Structure 1
């Protein structure tokens, strides 16, 4: 949809992981500077898209429109636990239809994970905001994207036509930076 801007957001460990082996984000990745950056980004978003394990823990979370990917519905269904959310099965309904059903045809769509959800949108990101926590390692954890750890997250983004912008330091105490990866042309 021409009026939608697709942006991805993730914080990863030095080894490209976003969660531990139990699909839970460890406390070591819950870094204050990144939480502030992520919260501000979601406050600007018109629609949030994520899988069942990816969640946000901000006060405004219940107010945000969202699509939650699941195979438990045929196409689209209301989320019985959240009046601002729709359950969405991409196998039964294209994204354009799902976003329209969510009432969003223009604005920013924030993709917040997990790995399969990130992978679905690789060819569509306008910008992917990759935060890296270089002091954290999760050797047996969940890779952030399909193709990691065989390739670094940065290599996966580059392979999909995204180009790194200047990294921004968002948490000096933890040396965490966020880099915008943008599609050009």
Structure 2
């Protein structure tokens, strides 16, 4: 994995653990020689991931929509900053520029990015690992819900391991590095669906 898209919140929670975590994620990826592709902002966890990676000498590629780039939230310190038309182009760029996806705590936008990465993997638009860092138990309920969707039958058996969830970043990165792509829907026969 040469580059990972990091999905996270642009907010700054009151609990400082989240900002510390984001900086550590950026720093760890940089020290492992993994470039960061992220939302291009300088605020909240997003900015902390970029700062952590840059301070450790890592590559940071920001992808930000035009509407946000002009409102002083764009991080001009990135190695590269791509300004795109909108959110669809942003998420496509994340996929095109990355070898996988890591989601750390965030809100609605973060969930949108995570679920799209999983959906695109199911379909076959990419075959990269999709990781979820369940720091502080933040995603316990989401992991349980994902398991529930599988148990009910809304996630096919072939796709139940697309989401790779771990409680620590080293464990998550190791699991992602050993990810074996599944059979995407585009290559399944109607009887398998």
TM-score range normalised by the length of the shorter chain: 0.3 to 0.5
In the superposition, the TM-score normalised over structure 2's length comes to 0.45
Higher normalized helix content (fraction of residues): 2
